[in-house]
């Protein structure tokens, strides 16, 4: 299955040279090779060898020879994709900067340190590259590509926002069983998504990164609570939330986690793992130790269903936030599934409730109560077709008709 995505137009319409970046397994390579017009594609392997993407690939063991070849292509006004360019030596940037603006060079990488260097004030490539961050898939792009029964489209679409899951799902039988099979077969792959994001120096601290991810996935979002927990476990040298802030900042930049403001609070935020399947995995690790032992579906079924409902809620929150062109916020008291605000003053545009089980009518009443005195839109997503004055109700079928 090929899922056309909005970034195709962004990259295609960007003039000149482009930097495409993001964490591993967000579909950068697939997107570039299958949807972006280009003359040549090259991949820098982990061992530093550069290979072309043809059926009979050309191999460059000598980086200087590759630079000569790349220079020739760009001077001939060709479009060249260079994937995992961060594996090349530092002087590579100086060399190619002297070729600019000839040709069209598309650099793709997943190393946070290298991306920061390319975008830093001292970079020889500064100002030469349009930046395009590749994140998890847009919810609209996913559901437009699926042709399943409405409820299954939403549930599968929620987890297919991680493109690497597309060829693993069977799309047969019970969705929960299919999802559990994918998670079970990905127990090494999911923690490995951190992969090349961090440099060798930072990788020595990978235990801290994964520990923070585990805690956030388990529902802990207070930096002080995270730092205290890691200190008591001997993972941090001191109990200081400022130590955690830098790790979280790095993971936000590369799309591993996201920061969601608390409504009507100046500084409070919650942190969530951005990947639906990664967050589900770490939640089940915390509750059932699925990374340490083989677990049957019956044992995790209740918590797995809970996480599916939570991820579906986030799917709709993202979808309506995109439609409104606003920002997503969250309310703890009263609890509101999603709030869409606009501008620096964070003016509320809409309140939303998602009821992926029973309780659609209860959700409608809750919306009315929470929005008392506010002139905003009220959105209810429910499997039940609830009709309630002043509320726009979206069943799975109605939502998909709107999207398509």
Query: What is the 3-state secondary structure of the chain?
Result: CCCCCCHHHHHHHCCCEEEEECCCCCCHHHHHHHHCCCCEEEEECCCCCEEECCCCCCEECCHHHHHHHHHHHHHCCCEEEEECHHHCCCHHHHHHHCCCCCCEEEEEECCHHHHHHHHCCCCCCCCCEEEEECCCCCHHHHHHHCCCCHHHHHHHHHHCCCHHHCCCCCCCCCHHHHHHHHHHCCCCCCHHHHHHHCCHHHHCCHHHHHHHHHHHHCCCCCHHHHHHHHHHCCCCCCCCHHHHHHHHHHHHHCCCEEEEEECCCCCCEEEEECCHHHHHHHHHHHHHCCCCCCCCHHHHHHHHHHHHHHHHHHHHHHHHHHHHCCEEEEEECCEEEEEEEECCCCEEEEEEEEECCCCHHHHHHHHHHHCCCCCCEEEEEECCCCCCCCCEEECHHHHHHHHC
Q: What is the pLDDT along the chain (404 residues), one digit of tens a residue?
A: 788 899 999 999 988 999 999 888 899 999 999 999 999 999 999 899 999 998 889 999 999 999 999 999 999 999 999 999 988 998 999 999 999 999 999 999 887 767 777 877 788 988 899 999 999 999 999 999 999 999 999 999 999 999 999 999 999 999 999 999 999 988 888 887 765 555 544 555 678 888 999 999 999 989 999 999 999 999 999 999 998 998 898 888 888 899 999 999 988 999 999 999 999 999 999 999 999 999 999 999 999 999 999 999 999 999 999 999 999 999 988 999 999 999 999 999 999 999 998 888 999 999 999 999 899 999 999 999 999 989 999 999 999 999 98
Dist. CA 361–CA 393, nearest whole Å:
10
Q: What is the pLDDT of residue 267?
A: 85
Q: How would you label 139-159 residue by residue, b for 16+ Cβ within 10 Å and e otherwise?
A: bbbbbbbbeeebbebbbbbbb
Tokens of 114: 């290298």
Q: What is the pLDDT of residue 20?
A: 94
Q: How would you label 164-174 residue by residue, b for 16+ Cβ within 10 Å and e otherwise?
A: bbbebbeeeee
Helix 396-403, helix 297-324: angle, nearest 10? 40
For residue 337, give the nearest of 306, 315, 322, 357 by alpha carbon. 315
Q: What is the pLDDT of residue 204?
A: 54
Dist. CA 395–CA 316, nearest whole Å:
11
Length of the chain: 404
Categorise residue 84: left if φ over 0, alpha if ψ from -120 to 50, beta otherwise: left
Give yes or no for a cis peptide into 101 (omega within 30° of 0). yes
Q: What is the pLDDT of residue 323?
A: 96
Q: In what order do the strands lie in the sheet with 392-394?
A: 327-332, 335-342, 347-355, 377-382, 392-394
Bridge partners of residue 104, in order along the sequence: 79
Tokens of 240: 């200081």
Q: Is the pTM of this model over 0.85?
A: yes
Count Cβ atoms within 10 A of the Cβ of residue 210 and give its class: 0-12 exposed, 13-18 middle, 19 or more buried: middle
Count Cβ atoms within 10 A of the Cβ of residue 353 and give its class: 0-12 exposed, 13-18 middle, 19 or more buried: buried
* Angle at CA of residue 177, ends 176 and 179, nearest 5°: 65
Dist. CA 56–CA 63, nearest whole Å:
20
For residue 182, give the nearest of 193, 169, 194 by alpha carbon. 169
Domains in the chain (CATH in brackets) are: 7-133 (3.40.50.300), 171-304 (1.10.10.10)
Pairing of strands 377-382, 347-355: parallel
Contact 29, 83 (CB under 8 A): yes
Place of tokens 């996480």: 307
Q: What is the pLDDT of residue 201?
A: 46
């Amino acid at each position: 299955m090929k899922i056309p995505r909005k970034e195709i137009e962004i990259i295609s319409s960007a003039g000149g040279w482009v930097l495409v970046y993001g964490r591993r397994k967000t579909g950068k390579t697939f997107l570039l090779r299958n949807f972006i017009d280009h003359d040549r594609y090259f991949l820098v392997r982990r061992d530093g060898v550069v290979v072309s993407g043809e059926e009979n690939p050309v191999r460059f063991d000598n980086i200087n020879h590759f630079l000569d070849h790349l220079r020739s292509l760009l001077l001939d006004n060709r479009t060249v994709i260079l994937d995992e360019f961060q594996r090349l030596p530092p002087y590579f940037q100086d060399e190619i900067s002297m070729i600019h603006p000839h040709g069209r060079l598309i650099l793709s990488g997943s190393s946070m340190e290298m991306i920061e260097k390319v975008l830093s004030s001292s970079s020889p490539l500064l100002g030469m590259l349009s930046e395009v961050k590749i994140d998890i898939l847009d919810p609209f792009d996913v559901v437009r590509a699926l042709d399943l029964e409405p409820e299954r489209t939403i549930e599968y679409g929620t987890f297919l926002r991680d493109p690497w899951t597309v060829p693993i799902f069977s799309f047969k039988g019970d969705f929960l069983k299919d999802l559990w099979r994918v998670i079970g077969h990905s127990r090494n792959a999911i923690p490995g998504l951190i992969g090349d994001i961090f440099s060798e120096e930072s990788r020595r601290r990978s235990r801290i990164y994964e520990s923070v991810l585990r805690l956030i996935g388990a529902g802990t979002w207070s930096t002080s609570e995270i730092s205290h927990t890691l200190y008591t476990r001997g993972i941090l040298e001191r109990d200081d939330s400022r130590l955690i802030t830098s790790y979280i900042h790095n993971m936000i930049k590369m799309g591993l986690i996201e920061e969601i403001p608390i409504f009507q609070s100046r500084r409070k935020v919650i942190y969530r793992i951005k990947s639906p399947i990664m967050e589900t995995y770490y939640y089940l690790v915390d509750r059932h130790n699925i990374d340490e032992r083989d677990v049957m579906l019956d044992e995790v079924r209740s918590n797995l269903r809970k996480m599916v409902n939570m991820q579906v809620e986030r799917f709709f929150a993202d979808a309506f936030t995109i439609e409104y062109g606003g920002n997503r916020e969250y309310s703890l008291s009263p609890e509101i599934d999603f709030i869409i605000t606009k501008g620096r003053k964070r003016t509320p545009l809409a309140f939303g409730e998602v009821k992926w089980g029973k309780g659609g009518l209860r959700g409608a009443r809750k919306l009315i109560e929470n929005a008392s005195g506010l002139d905003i839109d009220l959105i209810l997503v429910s499997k039940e077709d609830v009709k309630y004055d002043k509320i726009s109700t979206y069943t799975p079928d109605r939502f998909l008709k709107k999207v398509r």
